[in-house]
Amino acid sequence: MIYLVGDLQGCCDAFERLLTLVDFSPSRDHVYLLGDLVNRGPASLATLERLQGLGDAAHCLLGNHDLHLLASAAGVRRGGKGDTFDDILASPRRDHHLDWLRHQHLALQAHGWLMVHAGVLPAWGAGQTLALAGEVQALLRSPKPADLFSQMYGNSPSRWSDDLQGPARLRLIVNALTRMRLCSADGDMDFSVKEGASKAPPGLYAWFDAPGRRTQGVPIAFGHWSTLGIVNRPDLLALDSGCVWGGALTAARIDAGHRELFSVPCDQAQVPG
């Protein structure tokens, strides 16, 4: 059986309960994690160890929090007050965990679904999305990933052009795949609104409702947007149900034409203040 799971953010106990709920077996089943594996929750290190322990049965995307951990570990970004990945940085196996994380994906397509953490720009088709994600993945896996981390922060450029090169190109790809919620019809990204899609200012759309989106009809699954809530359309799954904020952790079973959602509640007391 094939499962897609929304943002873990270090909520390892909830993940364990979700695996138990669906009777997950690594010898039989596969789970795809849609990014933000770590940070904000109580057990970032345990979460990485559990995912690695699942071996080839777990397939992971990187979200903005995962990239933030890697940039912090490389000394490019300072950790923030709410960060909860010190257990990873202090681990005797720190280098192993960080190397494993660097070898995960920015986008995947499997079992008929295109998977990203945040979104896909209207101008991108599925193939281009995977190719652009591959450009970033190659740098992440290179001997000098800090070169990427030093270039990926900032909100500009906010609109895709095939002519983009260098740091601007990489920054836009990272922002679209790991941070985007809203954009204009021509793909100009906005990062000022973090509420649900109903709060979009005039002229802005939830990225998946942007007119003329080239991936229209391509089944896409994503996380990242906890205030959006679960979206369950024939060709769209939004699965960040706000576990780390006291909501739930949600999985969607998608194999062989089957569609079923499973959720477990998270312990509000675990959420850092």
Q: What is the pLDDT of residues 187-225, one digit of tens each?
A: 999 999 999 998 899 999 999 999 999 999 999 999 999
203-211, long-range: CB < 8 A, 24+ apart: 206/181, 206/182, 207/118, 207/119, 207/120, 207/121, 207/122, 207/180, 207/181, 207/182, 207/183, 208/119, 208/120, 208/236, 210/122, 210/183, 210/184, 210/185, 211/122, 211/185
In this structure, what DSSP letter does residue 259 have? -
In the numeric block, the tokens 């720009």 are attached to: 121
The model's confidence at residue 167, banded by pLDDT at 50, 70 and 90, is very high
The model's confidence at residue 271, banded by pLDDT at 50, 70 and 90, is very low
Q: Which amino acid is at 234?
A: P
pLDDT at site 268: 54
Residue 203: left if φ>0, alpha if ψ -120 to 50, beta else—which one?
left
Q: Closest Cα to residue 228, out of 257, 255, 203, 199?
A: 199
Asked if 8 and 15 touch (Cβ cutoff 8 Å), the reply is yes
Show Cβ contacts of residue 237 under 8 Å, excluding neighbours closer than 6 positions: 4, 113, 219, 220, 221, 222, 231, 252, 254
Q: Rounded mean pLDDT of the chain?
A: 95
Give how far Cα 134 sits from Cα of 44, 141, 211, 241, Å: 26, 10, 26, 28
Show Cβ contacts of residue 70 under 8 Å, excluding neighbours closer than 6 positions: 98, 101, 102, 140, 145, 149
What DSSP assignment string belongs to 11-72?
A: -HHHHHHHHHHTT--TTT-EEEE-S--SSSSS-HHHHHHHHHHTGGGEEEB--HHHHHHHHH
pLDDT at site 127: 98
Q: Closest Cα to residue 262, out of 250, 244, 272?
A: 250
Average pLDDT over residues 227-256: 96
> Is 2-270 in CATH node 3.40.190.10?
no
The model's confidence at residue 256, banded by pLDDT at 50, 70 and 90, is confident
